Amino acid sequence: MKNSRRQFMILSASSLAVATAGTAFAADPMLAETDAQAVGLGYKADTTKVDKAKYPKHAATQKCSGCALYKGAAGSAAGGCQIFPAKQVSGNGWCSAFAAKA
Protein backbone atom coordinates (compact mmCIF):
# COMPACT_ATOMS: atom_id res chain seq x y z
CA MET A 1 0.00 0.00 0.00
CA LYS A 2 2.89 2.39 0.68
CA ASN A 3 4.09 2.08 -2.91
CA SER A 4 0.63 2.94 -4.21
CA ARG A 5 0.45 5.98 -1.97
CA ARG A 6 3.92 7.10 -3.04
CA GLN A 7 2.99 6.65 -6.70
CA PHE A 8 -0.17 8.66 -6.12
CA MET A 9 1.83 11.48 -4.52
CA ILE A 10 4.33 11.54 -7.39
CA LEU A 11 1.56 11.59 -9.99
CA SER A 12 -0.24 14.31 -8.03
CA ALA A 13 2.95 16.34 -7.92
CA SER A 14 3.34 16.00 -11.67
CA SER A 15 -0.22 17.19 -12.19
CA LEU A 16 0.35 20.12 -9.88
CA ALA A 17 3.48 21.04 -11.79
CA VAL A 18 1.44 21.47 -14.93
CA ALA A 19 -1.35 23.30 -13.12
CA THR A 20 0.97 25.71 -11.32
CA ALA A 21 3.40 26.40 -14.15
CA GLY A 22 4.20 30.09 -14.13
CA THR A 23 2.71 30.66 -10.67
CA ALA A 24 4.62 33.16 -8.55
CA PHE A 25 5.45 31.47 -5.25
CA ALA A 26 7.24 34.40 -3.59
CA ALA A 27 4.09 35.94 -2.10
CA ASP A 28 2.80 32.64 -0.71
CA PRO A 29 2.76 32.07 3.07
CA MET A 30 5.07 29.57 4.74
CA LEU A 31 3.76 26.04 5.23
CA ALA A 32 3.03 25.23 8.87
CA GLU A 33 4.21 21.87 10.18
CA THR A 34 0.73 21.50 11.67
CA ASP A 35 -0.98 21.74 8.26
CA ALA A 36 -2.94 18.51 7.67
CA GLN A 37 -1.13 17.64 4.44
CA ALA A 38 2.24 18.53 5.99
CA VAL A 39 1.55 16.22 8.94
CA GLY A 40 0.52 13.43 6.56
CA LEU A 41 3.81 13.72 4.67
CA GLY A 42 5.95 14.14 7.78
CA TYR A 43 7.05 17.67 6.76
CA LYS A 44 9.54 19.39 9.03
CA ALA A 45 10.97 22.85 8.37
CA ASP A 46 14.32 21.58 9.70
CA THR A 47 15.50 18.30 8.16
CA THR A 48 17.41 17.40 11.35
CA LYS A 49 14.09 17.18 13.26
CA VAL A 50 12.54 14.45 11.08
CA ASP A 51 11.34 11.38 13.03
CA LYS A 52 14.04 8.87 12.06
CA ALA A 53 12.08 5.96 13.52
CA LYS A 54 9.06 6.74 11.32
CA TYR A 55 11.16 7.63 8.23
CA PRO A 56 14.24 5.37 8.36
CA LYS A 57 15.22 6.11 4.73
CA HIS A 58 15.50 9.83 5.50
CA ALA A 59 19.02 11.24 5.37
CA ALA A 60 20.02 14.52 7.00
CA THR A 61 21.44 15.60 3.64
CA GLN A 62 17.98 15.39 2.05
CA LYS A 63 16.53 18.90 2.01
CA CYS A 64 13.68 20.55 0.15
CA SER A 65 16.24 22.65 -1.72
CA GLY A 66 17.64 19.42 -3.20
CA CYS A 67 14.22 18.03 -4.17
CA ALA A 68 12.93 17.91 -7.73
CA LEU A 69 9.58 19.29 -6.50
CA TYR A 70 11.14 22.41 -4.94
CA LYS A 71 10.60 25.59 -6.96
CA GLY A 72 12.74 28.02 -4.99
CA ALA A 73 15.91 29.57 -6.40
CA ALA A 74 19.19 27.78 -5.72
CA GLY A 75 20.42 28.69 -2.24
CA SER A 76 17.12 30.30 -1.21
CA ALA A 77 15.88 30.01 2.37
CA ALA A 78 12.34 29.18 1.19
CA GLY A 79 10.46 28.52 -2.00
CA GLY A 80 7.41 26.98 -3.56
CA CYS A 81 6.72 23.27 -3.72
CA GLN A 82 4.59 21.35 -6.15
CA ILE A 83 3.21 19.19 -3.33
CA PHE A 84 2.04 22.19 -1.29
CA PRO A 85 0.47 24.67 -3.74
CA ALA A 86 0.13 28.30 -2.58
CA LYS A 87 2.61 27.68 0.27
CA GLN A 88 6.35 28.06 0.65
CA VAL A 89 8.52 25.44 2.29
CA SER A 90 11.85 25.86 4.03
CA GLY A 91 14.86 25.17 1.84
CA ASN A 92 16.21 23.21 4.83
CA GLY A 93 12.94 21.28 5.25
CA TRP A 94 11.97 17.72 4.32
CA CYS A 95 8.87 15.59 3.67
CA SER A 96 8.32 11.97 2.67
CA ALA A 97 7.66 12.99 -0.96
CA PHE A 98 11.35 13.93 -1.33
CA ALA A 99 12.70 13.10 -4.78
CA ALA A 100 16.33 13.98 -5.44
CA LYS A 101 17.00 16.36 -8.32
CA ALA A 102 18.46 14.60 -11.31
Chosen CATH of 2-90 out of 4.10.490.10, 3.40.50.300, 2.60.40.420, 3.30.70.1880? 4.10.490.10
> Pick the residue with more confidence: 74 or 11?
74
Q: Is the pLDDT of residue 1 over 50?
A: no
Buried b (16+ CB within 10 A) or exposed e, 18-43: eebeeeebeebeebebeeeebeebbb
Residue range 70-84, pLDDT digits in tens = 999 988 999 999 999
* Cα–Cα dist 81/64, whole Å: 8
| Percent of the chain surpassing pLDDT 90 | 69
Q: Is the pLDDT of residue 22 over 60?
A: no
Q: Where are the domains of the chain?
A: 2-90
- Taking all residues of the chain, what is their mean pLDDT, rounded to a whole number? 86
Q: Is the pLDDT of residue 86 over 90?
A: yes
Residue range 32-49, pLDDT digits in tens = 999 999 999 999 999 999
Q: Is the pLDDT of residue 25 over 50?
A: no
